[in-house]
């Protein structure tokens, strides 16, 4: 698992209380080559709360004091439907400022601020990997159905953020890999109301798949967008 990272690598999972984040964290904690695997969420101590951006910088400072460098950063946060219970929009007539703002805040702005806080902890002269959960529906080129406007747009924004972060990381460290990942339709609280039982795999299977994909990526693929089987997705 993640053989390209240094032996004794340090890992941080943001959103470790969600199904995928928890499954990724569990696998990292069982990896004999991982020295430290820390899960962060709104309920952890220290905590990560996108509604309190200062918490990101504060927590990053505490992680730096504890671990020094980190070699693996996995961002597993995201929402599919807004907190008011509304389903993803089927048409623009259903779009509201509130749902659009909330999805951008959680799916795009939150990960961007996370990167701003934690990228300084990544090494400059050693392999490192950064990954964030995106979604195939965030692909503009793959959009043939329409709908789900807020979710699609926020994930497309996330992809741009990750690609831009990859460029910055690559300039500082030519051994860095920073990518967006499509996990598939996971049997999880996020997907269950909308999947209609069309699940591709469980959260644990998803974690195994995604970590397998990341273990095979090279710096030549820095800035890419990949699905759970390792196939590249069009932007």
Residue 192, pLDDT score: 56
pTM over 0.75: yes
Position 74 pLDDT exceeds 60: yes
pLDDT at 81: 81
Strand order in the sheet with 9-14: 34-40, 9-14, 72-75, 128-133, 176-182, 225-227
Q: Count other Cβ atoms within 10 Å, centred on residue 112.
A: 18
Does domain 9-227 bear CATH number 3.40.50.12500? no
Predicted pLDDT at 87: 82
Regarding beta strands 34-40 and 176-182, do their DSSP bridges make them parallel or antiparallel, or are they unpaired?
Answer: unpaired
pLDDT given at position 191: 54
Q: Give the pLDDT confidence score for residue 190 in this predicted structure.
A: 55
- Cα separation, 120 vs 122, in Å, equals 6
Phi/psi for 189 (5° steps) reads: -60, -35
Return mean pLDDT, the chain.
93
- Distance, in Å, from the CA atom of 185 to the CA atom of 42, rounded to the nearest integer, reads 24
Is pLDDT at 125 greater than 70 in this prediction?
yes
pLDDT the model gives residue 84 = 74
The sign of the dihedral angle between the CA atoms of 233, 27, 17, 177 is: negative
At residue 35, φ and ψ (nearest 5 deg) are: -75, -40
Q: Identify the weakest region by mean pLDDT among 57-66, 147-156, 190-199.
A: 190-199
Report the pLDDT value the prediction gives residue 185, as an integer from 0 to 100: 87
Q: Give burial (CB, 10 Å; 0-12/13-18/19+) of 228.
A: buried
Tokens 């070699």 belong to which residue? 71
Nearest to 202 by CA among 20, 24, 18: 20
Question: Nearest CA to 120 among 165, 157, 82?
Answer: 165
pLDDT band at 19 (very low <50, low <70, confident <90, very high): very high
Instruction: Give tens-digit pLDDT for 184-231.
Output: 988 655 555 555 556 568 999 999 999 999 999 999 999 999 999 999
pLDDT tens by residue, 94-109: 999 999 999 999 999 9
């Amino acid at each position: 698992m993640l053989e390209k990272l240094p032996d004794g690598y340090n890992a941080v999972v943001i959103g470790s209380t969600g199904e995928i984040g928890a499954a990724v964290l569990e696998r990292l904690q069982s990896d004999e080559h991982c020295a430290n695997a820390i899960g962060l969420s709104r309920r952890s101590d220290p905590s990560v709360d996108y509604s309190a951006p200062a918490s990101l910088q504060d927590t990053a400072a505490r992680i730096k004091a504890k671990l020094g460098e980190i070699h693996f950063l996995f961002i597993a946060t995201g929402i599919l439907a807004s907190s008011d219970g509304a389903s993803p929009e089927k048409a623009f007539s259903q779009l509201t400022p509130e749902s659009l703002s909330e999805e951008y805040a959680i799916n795009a702005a939150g990960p961007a601020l996370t990167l701003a806080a934690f990228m300084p902890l990544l090494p400059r002269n050693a392999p490192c990997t950064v990954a964030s959960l995106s979604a195939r529906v965030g692909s503009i080129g793959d959009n043939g159905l329409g709908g789900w406007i807020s979710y699609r747009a926020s994930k497309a924004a996330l992809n741009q953020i990750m690609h831009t972060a990859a460029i910055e990381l690559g300039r500082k460290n030519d051994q860095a890999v920073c990518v967006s990942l499509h996990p598939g339709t996971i049997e999880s609280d996020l997907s269950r109301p909308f999947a209609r039982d069309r699940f591709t795999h469980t959260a644990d299977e998803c974690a195994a798949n995604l970590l397998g994909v990341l273990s095979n990526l090279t710096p030549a693929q820095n800035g890419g967008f990949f699905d759970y089987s390792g196939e590249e997705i069009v932007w």
